Chains A and B, each alone.
Chain A
Amino acid sequence: MLTILIITLIKIIGFTFLMILPLVAYSVYAERRVSAAMQDRVGPNRVGIPFTKIRLAGLGQPIVDGLKFLLKEDFTPNHVNKFYYWLAPAFVLIPALLTCAVIPFGSELNLPFLDDPVKLVIADLNVGPLFIFAIASLSVYGIVLAGWSSNSKYSFLGGVRSSAQMISYEICLGLSLVPVLLIFGEINLTDIVKQQSENGWLLLPVVWNETGFHISAESALLWIPAMIAFFIFTVSIFAETNRTPFDLPECETELVAGYHTEYSSMKFALFFLGEYAAMIIGSGLIVTLFLGGWSLPFGLDQNFIGDDGLVPWWLGLAHIGVFFAKVIAFIIFFIAVRWTVPRFRYDQLMKLGWVVFFEAALVNIFVAAGIIMIFK
């Protein structure tokens, strides 16, 4: 019992605080460097090891930024509703970090000094995606509270836009996932990844063995609804995490900074962290559901797993690396889209959510169900 508790604690600290939070800091760095490269600029390239001339291409920048946030004056304006003003930043960050509890970030680790293999997921819930939706949609409360309690028109408009945006995109987010769950017949994220590791990724349903590449007719046909679901889900995640082209709640050109206009110092940093953490968890969820999570493509994992179904320790470690490589690639995609696509107008956003994606997601469910029925 005690060992289980300790292992869980190590997983929580290791995954959330030693992997996700540094990844947040460095995705901010990546954002600045990638956007700079795309605009023929340089970006932060100076901060390296202090008191030396070693620059490490500016990799020290996130640490310095964090220190700056800690040392800045924490200013609370007089005209705000203090209780909710203080509460709001935590409401943004904590749901984002909570959701990483159900994301499987690796297969399992067989350690010689433990009897059972360690499953590399903090909480192996049977309702993974539902848990994520339930918790992730809480973060909109933080934004709405921040907008309302700031008692300023820009913040208020940002908060109102955020809630409207959430209502119109949460539906597509949920509905676009139904075909995926139909295809897997499973709602446990660990088992979903295990299926993809055996049968190829959802978006790459090809299996390789000694006789060559194989693809079954059913999975080839199901690729179409899967692809539509992937597209809708990705766009909805963009909207959910307030990333451009759907960053209307903070929209610098119209609303100063949107809901966090009145925030400074660490409270602003919490909003910032929450936004990037949500982006990383969103990427993690997309990777888990559509791109095979920690698994190698073409079902290659099966060649390395022993007959007793045990994953060798080096493969377990490699799986963690594979998962994070995929997540990082997806974050770069997020960043590339942000610096390419202009912001949607508000009515365009609403129209896209309610008229296009909602219907497309609904139809997609029936298409997927039909294909599955034919092959039953």
Chain B
Amino acid sequence: MATITVKRPKLTFLEKLFIPTLIKGLRLTLSHGVRSLRGKAEGKEQLAAGHLGVTMQYPEQKWDSHLPEYYRGAPALVTDELGRERCVSCQLCEFICPPKAIKIIPQEIPADSEWAKVEKKPQAFDIDMIRCIYCGMCEEVCPEQAIYLRKDYAITGTSREEMVHDKDKLYEIGGQRIGLVNKWNDLK
């Protein structure tokens, strides 16, 4: 590589004086300030901002309607169109889960049940939301399409116990999902 000598820009006398550039800079920052105070900051519609600047006032205003299709929020279990829990307790998600957040206790479905053919269901299904990293591996690995990442992101609690989502809570978030979803749609 040849050495490239960078030519320093030739400054005019006024630029060397520093004062005009100072005024230019002040005009830029102050114009931003005035526009921000008048609630006309650049690009604020796009960011759905509050009155000041381009910042959204979070708890009052939320980004929910802007969340993209592929957003990965809290993982949740779903039931099918007949209200049967889809999870068959194969424990693949438990094994793939990188932070080991999922704990499943399987249970046999009794022979006289309507869904005896399915054989297994989870007795307990806990996801520790303190450990969960929202990677979506469980969703990807599930052969029954029973676990999905939903768009819930504000998962809060006042104790560690509260942060563990049990089966009821997971079905409450997940709800019902009708029909099969082709998870790898764009790869087909």
Contacts and interface: CB of A to CB of B under 8 A. Distances in A.
A207 to B, nearest CB: 29
Contacts of A34: 33
A17 B71 CA distance: 54
A336 B31 CA distance: 11
A56 interface: no
A336 B42 contact: no
Contact of A41 (B28, B42, B53): B53
Interface string A92-136: 000000000000000000000000000000000000000000000
Contacts, number: 50
Given A42-B53, A45-B52, A37 B32 contact: yes
Contact of A340 (B26, B42, B54, B55): B26
B50 interface: yes
A40 B26 contact: no
Interface string B16-52: 0000001001101110110011000110000000101
Interface of B is mostly: helix
B48 to A, nearest CB: 14
A42 B53 CA distance: 6
Contact of B37 (A37, A39, A336, A340): A37
Interface string A327-362: 000000000110111000000000000000000000
- Chain B's interface size range is 10 to 19
Given A340-B22, A340-B25, A341-B22, A38 B55 contact: no
Interface in A25-69: 34, 36-43, 45
Nearest to B25: A340
Greatest chain B CB density within 10 A among A36, A41, A340 is at A340
Contacts of A45: 52
B187 to A, nearest CB: 40
Interface of A: 34, 36-43, 45, 336-337, 339-341
A113 to B, nearest CB: 45
Greatest chain B CB density within 10 A among A34, A40, A42, A340 is at A40
Given A40-B41, A42-B50, A336 B30 contact: yes
A41 B32 contact: no
Contacts of B52: 36-37, 41-43, 45
B17 to A, nearest CB: 10
Sort A-B residue pairs by CB-CB distance and give the 9 closest, nearest first.
Answer: A37-B33, A40-B53, A38-B29, A340-B25, A38-B33, A37-B36, A42-B52, A40-B41, A340-B29
A41 B43 CA distance: 12
Given A45-B52, A336-B30, A340-B29, A38 B36 contact: yes
A142 B57 CA distance: 41
B25 A40 contact: no
Given A40-B41, A45-B52, A341 B32 contact: no
A339 B32 CA distance: 12
A337 B54 CA distance: 22
Nearest to A34: B33
A167 B3 CA distance: 41
A40 B42 contact: yes
Interface in B96-139: none
A333 to B, nearest CB: 9
19 contacts: A34-B33, A36-B52, A36-B53, A37-B36, A37-B53, A38-B29, A38-B32, A38-B33, A38-B36, A40-B32, A40-B42, A40-B54, A42-B53, A45-B52, A336-B26, A336-B30, A337-B22, A339-B29, A341-B25
A57 to B, nearest CB: 10
Greatest chain A CB density within 10 A among B22, B33, B55 is at B33
B117 to A, nearest CB: 57
B45 to A, nearest CB: 13
Nearest to A36: B53
A45 B36 CA distance: 14
A39 to B, nearest CB: 7
Contacts of A41: 36, 52-55
Contacts of A37: 32-33, 36-37, 52-53
Nearest to B35: A40
Nearest to A356: B18
Contacts of A340: 22, 25-26, 28-29
Contact of B32 (A39, A42, A43, A337): A39
